[in-house]
Amino acid sequence: KGIHCELSNLYFPDDFLFGTATSSYQIEGAWNEDGKGENIWDHLTHNHTHLIRDRSNGDIACDSYHKYKEDIALLKDLGVSVYRFSFSWSRIFPHGHPYKPNPAGIAHYVAFLDELAANNITAMATLFHWDLPQPLQELGGWTNPRIVPCFAEYAKVAFENFGSKVKYWITVNEPHQVCQEGYGSDNLAPVLNMSGIADYQCGHNLIKAHAIAYHIYNDTYRHLYNGKIGITIHGIWYEPQTPKDEETADRMMQFNFGWWAHPIFTSQGDYPAVMKEYIAKRSTLQGYKRSRLPEFTQEEIDSIKGTSDFLGLNHYTSYFVTDAKINNLDTHFSSDHQVQANAKISWGSAAAPWIKVVPWGFRKILNWLQNTYNPSEIHVTENGFSDHGGLNDTTRVSYFGQYLQNLNAAIVLDKVRVKSYAAWSLLDNFEWLDGYVNRFGMYDVDFSDPNRPRTPKASALFYKDVIRNRRVGEFVKVN
């Protein structure tokens, strides 16, 4: 289709922002310093060590809590104009519950934000990137509606103290992973594994918490600081296996992306109709008196609609889908959606087996998002590839080269309104249950050295060139 010639000579628009992304628990370390409280990842790694592949934890991680000036020097060297990071809730409210905010935790982030500003790097801050305070988890975490006012108070304290220094706010990173992987399976803390029930309860409270945080910013802080606030959703592109799988692929997009985006980004609001219908139907078959998917009141629907100034997308991969026709009566998210996803044998794979290299899927999902939700801005808040480490990371260069070409085409040729891109990740870091086995960094971190030295990989040099030239240069395609 000549797609490669077409993609090879494009420039990114002048106002397009290049960045990198990290998250607090994955890089900061200093897990119990300066008054920080315990969060669910401290709790999981310390008490259920066997669940982590290399039995490691984030106690020290990249030690970015102490080495943040070094990290910012790396960002400067790369030439990025935006840095996406997250605040650790337990540093600000050590007890989780919203009383006695911790001055040392706040002071740390003020110093960090000042250093970013001194280097002319725009701050894109996530309020919640999975490290929930443990005391809130003990009350049920996101399944307990009481979490909504706790999150609202945390957001308010963050806006109050950091609002003048943060241009982009992201309330929650990947609600689907929080609820589906954390409550509906055992892939992330709190490893609850109650699919079809706890995941939907989690989602219901999480969406309300997001909306309330948005309204607090909108009503009280926007006129002071003029920033933007939104949510980041993980988007896999689901491609119909054959033309007759189109309805199935759309259903899969609705269950995975629409679950979160439909209530916030459409004019009708509420969960996607197909999700309500499928879950209600199966709930009845299973003998439930009402659907396992909770219902929003009309008032809630109205207050959730429109609560995002931009659409944040984390995108890594794509799959083909077909109908699954699951006839058993198990209570499970995947039996609710009745879709089966599969990858092509020929696709390259990251060290994380779920990441298949399907660069054209990136262009497709960006077009789908703009056509489906028509957001005024899209920000790609994560995109990346894992290997087992090493400085000559040719497979990562190949992944970024192809994905950036497709992003470039979506922006320039298809006119999708993507305003920024953050590569996951700046540094090798604690990759959740994979510990330090799988590496995502553009900079290597030596975790056996107490100084945690950082060294640029080939991908850092490649990305630096992309940023400087504002176009994707030559690279060797290996996957």
Query: Torsion angle of alpha carbons 357, 362, 363, 364, nearest 10°?
Result: 100
Nearer to ligand PNW, 26 or 402 (CB): 26
By beta-carbon proximity to ligand PNW, the closer residue of 281 and 344 is 344
**Looking at beta carbons only, is 12 or 316 nearer to ligand PNW?**
316
Q: How far is the CB of 24 from ligand PNW (least distance, A)?
A: 10
Q: From the CB of 287, what's the least distance to ligand PNW, in Å?
A: 31
Burial, 135: exposed, middle or buried (Cβ in 10 Å; 0-12, 13-18, 19+)?
middle
The b-or-e profile of 12-50 (16+ CB within 10 A means b, else e) is beeebbbbbbbbbbbbbbbbeeebbbbbbbbbbbeeeee
If the CB atoms of residues 42 and 174 are measured against ligand PNW, the closer one turns out to be: 174
Task: Write the burial class of residue 99 (CB in 10 Å: 0-12 exposed, 13-18 middle, 19+ buried).
Answer: exposed
The answer to whether residue 382 is catalytic is yes
What is the spatial distance between Cα 9 and Cα 379, in angstroms, rounded to a whole number?
A: 23
- Draw the binding track, 77-106, toward ligand PNW (x: CB under 6 A; -: no contact): ------------------------------
**Which tokens hold the place of 254?**
């609705």
Out of 248, 314, 334, 335, the only residue in the binding site for ligand PNW (CB under 6 A) is 314
Q: At 107, phi and psi to the nearest 5? A: -60, -40
**Residue 424 CB, nearest distance to ligand PNW (Å)?**
5
CA dist 436 and 260 (Å) reads 30
Whether cis (ω within 30° of 0) applies to the bond prior to 103 is no
Choices 91-99, 144-152, 173-181, 393-401; region in contact with ligand PNW by CB under 6 A = 173-181
The site that binds ligand PNW (CB under 6 A) totals a number of residues, namely 12
Catalytic residue among 28, 38, 382, 431: 382
- For residue 221, CA distances in Å to 184, 209, 216, 310 come to 35, 17, 7, 17
Binding to ligand PNW by CB under 6 A, coded x per residue (else -) over 417-446, reads -------x------x--------x------
Cβ 158 to ligand PNW shortest distance, Å: 19
Interactions with ligand PNW, residue window 113-152 (CB under 6 A) = none
Q: Among residue numbers 201 through 260, which ones bind ligand PNW (CB under 6 A)?
A: 234
CB 119 within 8 A of CB 75: yes
Q: Which of 354, 368, 414, 458 binds ligand PNW (CB under 6 A)?
A: 354
List the 339-342 sheet strands across, edge first: 237-240, 318-323, 339-342
Catalytic-labelled residue, pool 174, 181, 239, 431: 174
Over the window 10 to 49, marking each residue x when it contacts ligand PNW by CB under 6 A and - when it does not, the resulting string is: -------------x--x-----------------------
Specify whether the CB–CB gap between 420 and 16 falls below 8 A: yes
Which residues touch 273 (CB under 8 Å, ≥6 apart)? none
Q: Does 174 bind ligand PNW (CB under 6 A)?
A: yes
Q: Give the integer Cα–Cα distance in Å for 436 and 43.
A: 18
Q: Which residue number is nearest to ligand PNW in terms of Cβ?
A: 354
What is the pattern of x (binds ligand PNW, CB under 6 A) and - over residues 368-397?
Answer: --------------x---------------
Contact 326, 338 (CB under 8 A): yes
Does residue number 336 form part of the binding site for ligand PNW (CB under 6 A)?
Answer: no
Active site residues: 174, 382
Q: Residues interacting with ligand PNW, by CB under 6 A?
A: 23, 26, 173-174, 177, 234, 314, 354, 382, 424, 431, 440
